[in-house]
Each structure stands twice: as structure tokens, then as C-alpha cells.
Structure 1
Amino acid sequence: MSTRWKRNTVVATMAVLVCAAVALNWRYSGETAVQGGQDSDTKILGEATLVSGQDGEQEGSEENSSLPDETGVYTGSDYFASARLTRQQARDNAISLLQEAAAQEGADTATANEASEGIQVLASYTLKEAQIENLVTAKGYTDCVAFMGDESISVVVATQTGELTAEDVAKITDIAMAETGLAASGIKIMAAN
């Protein structure tokens, strides 16, 4: 009985730590985005300086002018890209922890099976989030990001007006209910500001 208790305690502790990491990451990325807009000397992940020491594209190069402008993604001005990146990093960290727990020398088969199930759950969340995001943007919304948990999902949506009507909330709730099987009470929908 004590082995089962220890295993459950380890799994529960890991789940709490992963949730805390996601919350801190989300909060920190929001603060970084706010600060990034105020301080031009702040270095952002993904920014690069050319070997020649010049920032940006070279003048007169037709080849570089056809490349998409990715500065919004890297400067933190794009909430949705930042949120997706943070979500993926947290999931990668959680999967890494679960894989390490399963690969420990003293781990029994039950622990390995629980870790494997945890990885499958996280993969399932990722697929459902991506499907919801794709379906919501297919309905004509500007952008969308979803965060799924055990018994709930939060969906942040950008609209052209910056506000969500009751009809918008109903459409998005229907999509989330169909994809996750959750009740409407477990679905939170917010407009991005």
C-alpha cells in the first residue's frame, strides 16, 4: 500500500509543479511583453544580429524583401504566438519530467505506465487545442489560442472589434464542447485586448 501512496504522491506533485510552471510562464511572458514594448535595449528570444553587425535586412536585396516579417512574433507584441510558445515549452518540460520518471532505474511498471498515460493525456490536450484553434479561426475570427486542463479549457480569441458578443461566445463554446466533451461550465472564453 505504501508503494502506491508514494507513486500517487510523486505523480500528484509533478502535476502541481507542471501547473505552477505553466502559470508562472504565462505570467512572466505577459510581463516581458509589456516591458519589451517600453525598453528598446531588451533582448528577446529569437532576435538576431547579422555577422556583419547590422540588424535587419540588407538594403537592395530583392531576395530578402520576399521574406515574411517575423518581428512581431519575436518582440512579444503578438500575444498569441507568445502564448503558444509558452504553452509548448511547458508541455515539453512536463513530458520530459514524465519520461525521466518512467526511465528511472527503480521505477516499477505501474509508475512507467502512469507516466506513459500522462504523456498521452498531454498529447491529447495538444491535439484538441490545435483543432479548436483551427476551427475558431475558420469561423472568421482573427486569431485564437486554447489552454486545456483536466476539467476545463480557456479560449482566448481576437476579433476585429476586440469584443465578443453572446453569439460569438455561443459559437466558440459549441466548438470547444464538441472537441473536448466538456460541459459549457468548464469552458471559459475571453476576448484578447
Structure 2
Amino acid sequence: MATRWRRNAVVATMAVLVCAAVALNWKYSGEQAVEETGTKILGEATLVSGQETDEAQETLEEADVYGGDDYFASARLTRQQARDSAISLLQEAAAQEGADQSVADEASLGIQTLASYTLAEAQIENLVTAKGYADCVAFMGEESISIVVSKDDGSDLTAEDVAKITDIAITETGYDASGIKIVPAN
């Protein structure tokens, strides 16, 4: 029994040492490769400011997004978190043991609906920004959609702007103009 324990301890120690050696080798050879060749390694990036960052070390924290001045980024993050939560609940309902087939079908339909909302919102946001607006975020519901838009120059939206954005929303969603709300970002 004692020899088996000793043998397992030696094997575990050797495994830890080998892993440490591989990690150190990878770290130092990666730094050396960048210094010698000037090329980047997968996972590393250079920011616009010229600072280098390692993808694993710098992650965008939720507090940073909410604490920042970028309304559009925080709105998209909040929308995505709400959707992820709803999809998770629907998946749990469908996966419960003893769940009726109608419950599973309804949950599947709900997931498909949320996915179609996400695609339509992304399409609208892309088309609106392609029309020359600074940024846009869309919130789609069952029979209505709200679109928050910012102009490059910070001016208010004109009737022409509202007409362009409404046309995009009608085309992408099929909703009536009465179900589309356009809000200027301040």
C-alpha cells in the first residue's frame, strides 16, 4: 500500500513539474519569438494606442461597460444578458424530466422567436449605421420595436432621419409604423 502511494506521489509530482516546464517554455519562447521576429502570437493584440495586450489577461468586465459613457455598448450587453437568461430558462423548462411535449415545443418556439429578434435587431442596427448614423441599438418585442439612434454630429433627428430609420424597421420586421419607436440618443 505504501509503495503504491509513493509511486502515485512521484507520478503526480513529475506531472506537475512537466506542466510547469511546458508553461515556462511556452511563455519564454513566445516572448523571444516576438522580440526576434516582430510577429505576434495567437491571443495577443496591439491596441490602437500602440499598447500590447494579452487576450487572456485583459477581459472586458461588466462593471467597466456599465461605468463607461458608452450607452450603446451597455444597452447591447444588458439586452444580451436578458436574452441569455430567458433562453436558459426556456432550455431548462424543455429539458425537465417529465415535461410535457407541448411545454418542450413551446420552449423551442420561444427560443426561435428570441433568436429571430436578435437577428432582426442586428440587421437593423447594421443598416442604420450603414446609412451614416454614429450608432444604433434596437429592442424588439412581439409587436413593436424601439430604436435608439445617435448622429455623428450630435444633432437631433430630423423627420427625414426618422423616415429612413422607420423604413428600415418596417422592411426588416414587417411591423406597422405605429409599432416603431425611434428615440434620439442624448
Judge same fold: TM > 0.5, yes or no: yes
Q: TM-score, normalised by structure 2?
A: 0.66
How many Å separate the matches in 1 of 2:51 and 2:138?
A: 28
Report the Cα offset of residue 73 of structure 1.
4.4
- After superposition, the Cα gap between the structure-2 partners of 1:138 and 1:67, relative to the gap in structure 1 and judged at 3 Å, is farther
Superposition CA RMSD, Å: 2.0
Matches of residues 25-104 of structure 1 in structure 2 within 5 Å?
A: 65-67=49-51, 73=65, 75-104=67-96
Report the equivalent of 1:49: none
SS in 1 for 2:69: coil
Q: In structure 1, what residue type is equivalent to 2:139? A: F
Contact in 2 for aligned 1:162/1:192 (Cα 8 Å):
no
Q: TM-score, normalised by structure 1?
A: 0.63
Q: In structure 1, what residue type is equivalent to 2:135? A: D
Report the equivalent of 1:188: 181
Report the equivalent of 2:128: 136
How many Å separate the matches in 2 of 1:145 and 1:174?
A: 16
Flag structure 1 segments of 5+ consecutive residues without an equivalent: 1-62
Contact in 2 for aligned 1:101/1:115 (Cα 8 Å):
yes
Matches of residues 114-125 of structure 1 in structure 2 within 5 Å?
A: 114-125=106-117
How many Å separate the matches in 1 of 2:110 and 2:126?
A: 24
Q: In structure 2, what residue type is equivalent to 1:174? A: D
How many Å separate the matches in 1 of 2:51 and 2:137?
A: 25
Report the Cα offset of residue 162 of structure 1.
3.1
Report the Cα offset of residue 106 of structure 1.
1.9
Matches of residues 137-176 of structure 1 in structure 2 within 5 Å?
A: 137-159=129-151, 160-176=153-169
How many Å separate the matches in 2 of 1:133 and 1:151?
A: 18
How many Å separate the matches in 1 of 2:66 and 2:180?
A: 30
Report the Cα offset of residue 188 of structure 1.
0.1
Q: Which of these residues, 175, 179, 182, is aligned with residue 172 of structure 2?
A: 179
Q: In structure 2, what residue type is equivalent to 1:184? A: A
- Greater Rg by CA: 2
Identity of aligned residues (%): 75
How many Å separate the matches in 2 of 1:94 and 1:74?
A: 21
Higher relative contact order, structure no. (Cα contacts within 8 Å, ≥ 6 residues apart): 1
Q: List structure 1 segments (4+ residues) > 4 angstroms apart after TM superposition.
A: 70-74
Flag structure 2 segments of 5+ consecutive residues without an equivalent: 1-45, 53-59
How many Å separate the matches in 2 of 1:112 and 1:94?
A: 14
